[in-house]
Structures are given as structure tokens and as C-alpha cells.
Copies of this chain bind each other. A is one copy, B any other.
């Protein structure tokens, strides 16, 4: 894997942006290995993901951000993020009692599918410690009291852990607790949740029971970034499965598990690959 820089940007659409940015990179001997762009003609916004090899690139990697800021960001009203493929995201996983998403994430991690580090697993229950042990990953438990009286305290402890472990993203793998606003602010568009319904249908608790009550013929799962508004953040990925009148709430839960883990893992893959741009509570997903 050769070192590359990855630039994700958006700005008001103007003639010549692609041409300028690609010229800047090629003039400085950067070999472009990925370019995808998209114009939202409704909003007049331009979105781009571009990746180039750093090997012969004339600008040192710690100056690239400055150059882009100076040359383009102000001029074009551009917002951008710069990543390097050899700086792995550090991802914490939050779980409660169900193991299917956790196993799916860890199996991919262990198989080397993902360019990521997973330094810790956090839970509000002891139940899944054995899974963390199987994969030799530290497991931390902070129980939240029924009256929620210790939420601030728990949040403080969790935030300290995340800071200590230099965590850059959080995956909620069927974590059944509300995330506090402080944590959401600390990780904007960096907390990925899996909701076990086809959002916006069946928000909140027990979506499979809601689906069964309504008599739908298809169930779904939705992965999204967490915002202050419950189950209403930018959607990253969704998928569905066909059901029939023969299904019970219990069989929906079972069928849903497969949806949840695959949808969550697809979203995490895109996140790790730096292929998601968020804008106006929606996502642009580069291919």
C-alpha cells in the first residue's frame, strides 16, 4: 500500500474547480489514483473526493493542508477534510447485549479487511465481555442507572477513555443507550449507529414489533451518523428483506440481525475508506 492523500471537499459549484484541483496535484507530481465528483444542481454545490500518491509529490504532507486552504478554500468557499491512508482511524465499538453486529465487525477486523484500529469495546452490560476476550480487545463496562442519575459521570469516564485511546470514530453496534449531546459534539459525523428499521419508518423502540403490528411486507435496517435528533441523522446505508404474514415478531428479529450487521458493516467500510461526505443532514457516498 503506497501512501496517499485523500481530499474530501465541497463548495458552491463554479466553472473550473476540477480542472484547477487536478492541475494543482498533477503539476506537483502527484499521481491521481481516484477521482469522483458530484454536483448537486438543486443547491448549486460541488462535491469531490480525490486521492493521489504522495511518493513524488512535491509538497510535504504536513504542508498540504496549508496549500489547499490558501489556494482554494477561501477563494471557493470550500470546506474540506484531508486524510492520509497510512493514518488509520481508531474506532471504539459500543455494545449492549446482542453479539451479531460485534462479531461481524471483529471478524472483518481480524481478517484484515479494514484499515482501522479497534482499541476498545465499551458497554453498559457485562454480557459481551467473552466476545471481547475472544479477540483480545479491552472491554469496559459502565452501567447506567435506571433513573439515569449517573449519566454525566459515565459520560465523563467514557470520554476520558476515548481521549486516552485517541479514538477518532465510534460504532454503535446495537448499543441500547442514548448518546449524550457532549459526546455527539465531540464526534460530529463520526458516530455510526445501526437502527433496526427502514428509517424514517419505525423510529424509537421495538421497531420489529411495530413493523409486525403494521403488517408490512418488507423490513429494513438503517445505518446513520448520530446527531442530537434521535434516529434522524444523515443516512449512510439501508437495506431490506422480504417477509410474509407467516413471520412473527421473533422471526423478524432473527431476519433483521442479518440485515443489521451487513448494513452496519457496509457503512463502517465507507467511513473507514473516507468515502462519505455529509451535507444538509444527508450523505454523499463516493463509490
Q: Is there contact, CB below 8 Å, between A244 and B285? A: yes
Whether A23 sits at the interface, judged by CB under 8 Å, is: yes
Smallest distance from the beta carbon of A276 to chain B beta carbons, Å? 10
Cβ < 8 Å to B, chain A residues 44-59? none
| Majority SS at the chain A contact face | mixed
Residue of chain B at shortest CB distance from A26: B15
- Which residues of chain B have C-beta atoms less than 8 A from A282's C-beta? 215, 245
> Hey, which chain B residues are within 8 Å of A117, CB to CB?
none
Within 8 A of B (CB), among A93-117: 98-100, 103-104, 107-108, 110-111, 113
Bound-state Cα–Cα, A216 to B201, Å = 11
**Chain B residues positioned under 8 Å from A254 (CB to CB):** 113
CA distance A265 to B103 in the complex (A): 15
Contact assessment for B245 and A215 in the assembled complex, using a CB-CB cutoff below 8 Å: no
A240 interface residue (CB < 8 Å to B): yes
Minimum CB distance partner of A16 in chain B: B26
**Known: A99-B107, A107-B100, A107-B107. Contact between A238 and B217, CB under 8 A?**
yes
Q: A31 interface residue, CB < 8 Å from B?
A: yes
Q: Which of A34-42, A61-69, A182-190 contacts B (4 or more CB under 8 A)?
A: A34-42
Q: Is A151's beta carbon under 8 Å from chain B?
A: no
CB distance from A50 to the nearest CB of B (A): 10
CB-based nearest B residue for A42: B248
Which residues of the other chain, B, contact A108 by a CB distance below 8 angstroms?
100
Q: A21 → chain B, closest Cβ, in Å?
A: 9
Query: Which residues of B sit under 8 angstroms from A200, Cβ to Cβ?
Result: 201-202, 214, 216
Chain B residue nearest in CB terms to A282: B215
Q: Is A135 an interface residue (CB 8 A)?
A: yes
Closest to A214 in B: B200
Question: Shortest beta-carbon distance, A11 to chain B, in Å?
Answer: 15
User: In this assembly, does A159 line the interface, its C-beta being within 8 Å of a C-beta of chain B?
Assistant: no
Which of B23, B37, B248, B287 contacts A16 (CB under 8 A)? B23
Q: Does A198 contact B (CB under 8 A)?
A: yes
Which residues in chain A, 254-284, are within 8 Å of chain B measured between CB atoms? 254, 258, 262, 265, 281-284
Instruction: Say yes or no: is A252 at the interface (Cβ < 8 Å to chain B).
Output: no
Q: List 18 A-B contacts (CB under 8 A).
A: A15-B31, A15-B32, A16-B22, A18-B22, A19-B19, A19-B23, A103-B107, A107-B107, A134-B134, A198-B198, A199-B201, A215-B281, A215-B283, A216-B238, A242-B242, A245-B282, A245-B285, A246-B287
Starting from the known contacts A19-B22, A38-B246, A200-B216, 9 additional A-B residue pairs (CB-CB under 8 Å) come to: A16-B22, A18-B35, A100-B107, A103-B103, A198-B218, A199-B216, A216-B235, A217-B235, A217-B238
Question: Which 6 A-B residue pairings sit nearest by Cβ, starting from the closest?
Answer: A215-B282, A103-B107, A201-B201, A134-B134, A217-B238, A19-B22
